């Protein structure tokens, strides 16, 4: 069990995840529940403090989200942020009104009363605001503790009940002293101890896996990416050779990928690993297909089929381990993002039912950056931990038009060169993704005295924080030059290289 915990109630802010991450950075475990979580569930979680997130609603909107008001009667500290503050004011007897002017962006906060939440914070400090409503009258027993030009009550406190409310967002980087404010809440006000470490996570999770699986067999599908590798290594640490990993070569992997994955898991960790070369099967199914969504479906379905066949060969498997992460499972109003659909091909729901497997998801409490830290603690090579995201349908969605063996080979060679040169230039870990795309057009060129009519490769490199938005990377011209020269000289069948300078939105990162 985790020791001291903080609960974040989500009212729909785009920053809700960030609040939980900020708390966890302080080694205090934190989870996010939807704003209307039943009080019984909250009590069962047993938090030392509750944070009410921001949100897009106005407290006077019809159907504005209101939590079970018993959260204010639990005798535990509460911190309201933005909408969370207005909600506290409204529910505890104050008055909230539309501000004359929407306050958005940086503002100067002036602290007029030293409260615990501002311990160690300078009297004047920059904060990030984003609100249309403001507090006109604070509730009884609350004291205004800070203001800005636009918000006479930019923060308020009821010290004896340990209730605090902030109009601004301490969780974002644009509030430079925000981390300290969150630390004040977590440690000074809630009295949490920083006991949640990766070491403690590994200990409790491996015990949990052992308890759940007993002496039964477990299978785990691995892709070479960080989530599935960390899952496999963690489960292996718990139950050793009761675990078998299945790696499916679908014919649209990067050059050398299958060999690398096998080497790492078998040689480095001595795990049972079943590598299945199903490339011919996949390529046959992809023959003549040009529609991106059809490619995705075919690869997804075929993957499930191969996986099921392999799992059936192993007698008596009862569990399937999967690398689901926290953002995929938060049941909340603010994260109905694209991840559910993007990962649809990994959906093994049907498989679980047909094979009567039970699921274990040891990473379901972690954010991506925490998975990377965990991976390091588990001694997984940096090369895997820092690997760029690679889509499940692989090179198939980077070969525009039909996927054939020949086109896969061309793209694989070009892709290897792109990555080599990006790594040589020290750019790999700075970029979100960098890759090559094979276009379905041919263009004219000259080689020696000969006229050529060959393929075009597009190079894509982007910066991004989460893949939801992205900007094309300003790769130095010299690096672009090297990539282009090498591709044209070394990859037969390519005579032109172009660089993609579109951002997401409105483009996407992948071309299909
Ligand atoms: P887009 O192209 O939508 O991609 O901007 C956002 C991120 O998701 C990855 N991506 C996929 N990942 N299966 C996956 O597992 C898919 O079908 C898929 N399509 C896109 C993409 O590489 C980027 O990181």
Q: Is 313 exposed, middle or buried (0-12, 13-18, 19+ CB in 10 A)?
A: exposed
pLDDT (0 to 100) of residue 477: 98
* Distance from Cα 223 to the centre of ligand 1, integer Å: 14
Looking at the structure, tell me whether residues 283 and 413 fall in a common domain: no
pLDDT (0 to 100) of residue 36: 94
Helix (H), strand (E) at residue 477: helix 477-490
C-alpha Rg value of the chain to the nearest Å:
26
Q: Is residue 157 part of a domain?
A: yes
Q: Return the residue matching tokens 């063996």.
A: 405
- Number of the ligand 1 atom closest to the C-alpha atom of 508: 5
Residues at CB less than 6 angstroms from ligand 1:
296, 342-343, 389, 391-393, 433, 467, 504, 508-510
Catalytic residue among 169, 192, 262, 408: 169
* CATH number for position 178: 3.40.50.880
CA-CA-CA-CA dihedral for 67, 71, 77, 79, to nearest 10? 10
CA-nearest residue for atom 7, ligand 1, is 467
| Each residue's pLDDT tens digit, 103-139 | 889 999 999 998 999 999 999 999 999 888 889 899 9
CA-nearest residue for atom 9, ligand 1, is 391
* Annotation marks residue 192 as catalytic: no
Number of domains in the chain: 3
Q: Is residue 512 part of a domain?
A: no
Catalytic residue among 90, 103, 147, 171: 171
* Domain-terminating residue out of 343, 362, 385: 385
Distances (CA, A) of 91 to 56, 138, 155: 18, 11, 16
* Distance from Cα 296 to the centre of ligand 1, integer Å: 11
* CATH number for position 464: 3.30.300.10
| Beta strand 471-472 pairing with 494-499 | unpaired
pTM: 0.83
Q: Is residue 295 part of a domain?
A: yes
| Each residue's pLDDT tens digit, 143-153 | 999 999 988 99
* Distance from Cα 394 to the centre of ligand 1, integer Å: 9
- Number of the ligand 1 atom closest to the C-alpha atom of 346: 15
- Number of the ligand 1 atom closest to the C-alpha atom of 470: 5
Looking at the structure, tell me whether residues 268 and 373 fall in a common domain: yes
What residues of the chain score a pLDDT lower than 70? 1-2, 331-350
Looking at the structure, tell me whether residues 355 and 465 fall in a common domain: no
Looking at the structure, tell me whether residues 323 and 414 fall in a common domain: no
Looking at the structure, tell me whether residues 314 and 340 fall in a common domain: yes
pLDDT (0 to 100) of residue 372: 93
* CATH number for position 326: 3.40.50.620
pLDDT (0 to 100) of residue 447: 86
pLDDT (0 to 100) of residue 331: 60
Domain that holds residue 220: 198-385
* Distance from Cα 168 to the centre of ligand 1, integer Å: 33
* Distance from Cα 253 to the centre of ligand 1, integer Å: 15
Question: Residues with Cβ < 8 Å from 125, sequence gap 6 or more?
Answer: 108, 109, 111, 175, 176, 177
Looking at the structure, tell me whether residues 222 and 352 fall in a common domain: yes
pLDDT (0 to 100) of residue 339: 35
Question: Residues with Cβ < 8 Å from 499, sequence gap 6 or more?
Answer: 458, 459, 475, 480
């Amino acid at each position: 069990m985790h020791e001291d915990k903080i609960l974040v109630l989500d009212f729909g802010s785009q920053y809700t995840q960030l609040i939980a991450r900020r708390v966890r950075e302080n080694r205090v475990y934190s989870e996010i529940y939807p704003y209307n979580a039943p009080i019984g569930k909250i009590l069962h979680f047993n938090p030392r403090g509750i944070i009410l997130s921001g949100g897009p609603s106005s407290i006077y909107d019809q159907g504005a989200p209101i939590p079970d008001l018993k959260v204010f009667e639990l005798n535990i500290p509460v911190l309201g942020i933005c909408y969370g503050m207005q909600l506290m004011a409204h529910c505890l007897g104050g008055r909230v009104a539309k501000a004359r002017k929407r306050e958005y962006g940086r503002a100067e906060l002036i602290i007029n009363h030293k409260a615990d939440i501002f311990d160690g914070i300078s009297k004047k400090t920059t904060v990030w605001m984003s609100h249309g409503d403001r507090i006109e009258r604070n509730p009884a027993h609350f004291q205004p503790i800070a203001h800005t030009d636009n918000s006479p009550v930019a923060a308020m406190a009821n010290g004896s009940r340990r209730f605090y409310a902030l109009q601004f967002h301490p969780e974002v980087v644009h509030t430079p002293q925000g981390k300290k404010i969150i630390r004040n809440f977590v440690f000074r006000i809630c009295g949490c101890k920083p006991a949640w470490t990766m070491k403690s996570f590994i200990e409790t999770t491996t015990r949990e896996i052992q308890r759940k699986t007993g002496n039964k067999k477990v299978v785990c599908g691995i892709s070479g990416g960080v989530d599935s590798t960390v899952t496999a290594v963690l489960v292996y640490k718990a139950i050793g050779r009761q675990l078998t990993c299945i790696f499916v070569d679908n014919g649209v992997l990067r050059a050398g990928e299958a060999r690398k994955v096998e080497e790492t898991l078998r040689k480095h960790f001595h795990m049972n690993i079943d590598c299945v070369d199903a490339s011919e099967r996949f390529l046959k199914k992809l023959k003549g297909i040009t529609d991106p969504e059809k490619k995705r479906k075919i690869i997804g379905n075929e993957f499930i089929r191969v996986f099921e066949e392999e799992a059936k060969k192993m007698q008596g498997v009862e569990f399937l381990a999967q690398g689901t992460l926290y953002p995929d499972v938060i049941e909340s109003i603010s994260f109905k993002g694209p991840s559910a659909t993007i990962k649809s091909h990994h959906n093994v729901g049907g498989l679980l039912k047909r094979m009567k497997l039970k699921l274990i998801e040891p990473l379901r409490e972690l954010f991506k950056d925490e998975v990377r830290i965990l991976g390091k603690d588990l001694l997984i090579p940096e090369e895997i931990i820092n690997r760029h995201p690679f889509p499940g349908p692989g090179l198939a969605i980077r070969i525009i038009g039909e996927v054939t063996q020949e086109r896969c080979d061309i793209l694989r060679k070009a892709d290897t060169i792109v990555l080599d040169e990006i790594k040589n230039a020290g750019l790999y870990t700075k970029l979100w993704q960098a890759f090559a795309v094979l276009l379905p057009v041919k263009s004219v060129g000259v080689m020696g005295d000969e006229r050529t009519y060959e393929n075009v490769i597009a190079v894509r490199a982007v910066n991004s924080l989460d893949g939801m938005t992205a900007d094309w990377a300003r790769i130095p011209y010299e690096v672009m030059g090297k990539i282009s020269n090498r591709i044209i000289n070394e990859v037969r069948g390519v005579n032109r290289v172009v660089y993609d300078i579109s951002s997401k939105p409105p483009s996407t990162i992948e071309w299909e």
